[in-house]
A and B are shown apart, each in its own frame.
Chain A
Amino acid sequence: MNVYMDHASTTPVDPRVVEKMMPYFMEKYGNPSSSLYEIGREARKAVEESRVKVASAINAAPGEIIFTSGGTEGDNLAIKGTALLDKDKKHIIISSIEHFSVLSTCDWLKKQGFEVTKVPVDRYGVVDLSELENAIRKDTALISVMHANNEIGTIEPIEEIGRIASDNGIIFHTNACQTAGRVPIDVRKMDIDLMTLSSHKIYGPKGAGAIFVRKGTRLEPLFHGGGHERKLRSGTENVPGIVGFGEALDLACREMRKEGERLTRLRDRLIRGILKIERSWLNGHPEKRLPNNAHFCFKFIEGESMILELDFNGISGGTGSACSSPTLEPSHVLSAIGLPKEDVHGSLRLTLGKQNTKEEVDYVIEVLPKIIERLRNISPFKEDFGEYESALAHEHKH
């Protein structure tokens, strides 16, 4: 059985989305900027229709949507675009569990003379609001906190953070790549100034996305050129990608409630089944979490071995283990929620999607305990970390 359970990584494109995109490759291939002739106007019309769809999905106005190449560009544009605008404001606040597209952008800004405060999270991954308020300075240019965490699925108190930012006159950006189309978003109610959206996480094509830029919010562009997208993102529009993204988000929003309830039931079935494994636990918030996210730790297991074993059984999942990361660094998210390194190695993320069924969930519940048993059998650690236990306990105190 082939079971794809890594939908937080990417999703297959919905056939209805592909169908909408198809005409814009070979028939309606015009440049949206060439609106003096029909084929250009067709492309412009498609881009603007998509803009309306994206805007209405988040209660924004169409003029507040800027199409990008995806989440990473969106986060870069929102953060650098704000930071580079006001020379007197040299401080940025983010959470300690942001995606790399936010973290690395802030690291780069640090090199340009900015100061970055990373607000801690509790053991469920929820941002500490009082710490966030305390971090605010006169020269704070931006607060950026993700809507939901891509690893552990915790949904952040965005509305409260939006209010704090707006009360203090600070621009608020949120990375909503994991949430748009999965949970309701209202940029007005949530006091959001800038928001990053991605297409390929919601059954749209890769290489497409958008940022919401609240009317009146200024940004410095990253790409200079022909002045496309209100001069904020020059470059000929990726028309098929934009059409696909708009359609995907529209479909996701229309099916959100029904699919969300179905996924939540599947997720909870998966969690109940997996937690029967000895010395395992759930990471992230028990309730305030994405409907499709299940994230576990298994004691005395190294995640890369587990992922490979799952792959041998046709199951695709993810881990925060250092051994599986190109930098050999364990997940910063799992460290931020207080997990010691030796436990971070034994993490498993399973993220459900449209095609997953109850039978697939039951298959994972059947296969995984055998994998855990085999790996624990190979490991010298079965009940505890043996002679390393006291050293580890000592390390955790510090």
Chain B
Amino acid sequence: MKVPWHTSISIDWSDWMYSDKLIEEFRNPKNMGKMENPDGVGKVGNPTCGDVMYLYIKVNDDRIVDIKFETFGCAAAIGTSSIITEMAKGLTLDEASKITKQDVADEVDGLPPIKMHCSVLAADALKLAIEDYRKKKGKKSDMKS
């Protein structure tokens, strides 16, 4: 059997290019848009750096029952925003706050090394949203007592 000459060359595209999974999330993001009256909001990034992520959560019984995002940024930022909403939905707050940047990167089948900071943004935004919710809840229970 004749083997084409180029089959012997393997290129690790992940150094330069996104995984199919990430591209899919970028093209068809889930849970995208602003949330009215969220229970917690996490905002990370800065327009000058080119990445800003807003993450909104709705909490019931210590569980994330709804989650949405709005993101200004590259495909990695948008794709990881989308994936973290899918990962966190339905989890308890304790479970969700354990999601790490590596979990996010793994879930999109890896990120090019130069784009790893985008997964940090997503994980941070979720943690901040949970913190925000807990802070607000704390204030409310303070007021009741």
A interface residue numbers (CB < 8 A to B): 300, 302, 304-305, 308, 312, 321-324, 326, 328, 330, 340-342, 345, 377-381, 385, 387-388, 392, 395
Contact = CB atoms under 8 A, between A and B. Distances in A.
A116 B74 CA distance: 34
Please list the 9 inter-chain residue pairs (A to B) with the smallest Cβ-Cβ separation, ordered nearest first.
A380-B70, A342-B47, A323-B74, A379-B72, A304-B74, A341-B48, A345-B50, A380-B54, A302-B73
Contacts of B40: none
Nearest to B118: A323
A305 B48 contact: no
Given A302-B51, A377-B33, A385-B47, 18 more contacts: A302-B74, A304-B75, A305-B73, A305-B78, A308-B23, A322-B50, A323-B51, A323-B77, A328-B114, A341-B47, A341-B49, A345-B47, A378-B72, A379-B52, A380-B70, A381-B47, A388-B46, A395-B48
Contact of B52 (A322, A323, A388): A388
Interface in B15-49: 23, 26-27, 29, 32-34, 43, 46-49
A323 B52 CA distance: 13
B47 A388 contact: yes
A300 B52 CA distance: 11
Prevailing SS type, chain B contact patch: mixed
A379 B48 contact: no
B118 to A, nearest CB: 9
Summarize A's interface: helix, strand, loop or mixed.
helix
Given A305-B26, A388-B47, A392-B47, A380 B114 contact: no
A392 B23 CA distance: 31
A388 B53 CA distance: 12
Contact of B72 (A302, A322, A326, A340): A302
Contact of B27 (A304, A312, A340, A392): A312
Contacts of B32: 377-378
Nearest to A344: B50
29 contacts: A300-B72, A302-B72, A302-B73, A302-B74, A302-B77, A304-B74, A305-B26, A322-B50, A323-B73, A323-B77, A340-B48, A341-B48, A341-B49, A342-B48, A342-B50, A345-B47, A377-B33, A378-B70, A379-B71, A379-B72, A380-B54, A380-B70, A380-B71, A380-B72, A381-B52, A381-B72, A385-B47, A388-B46, A388-B52
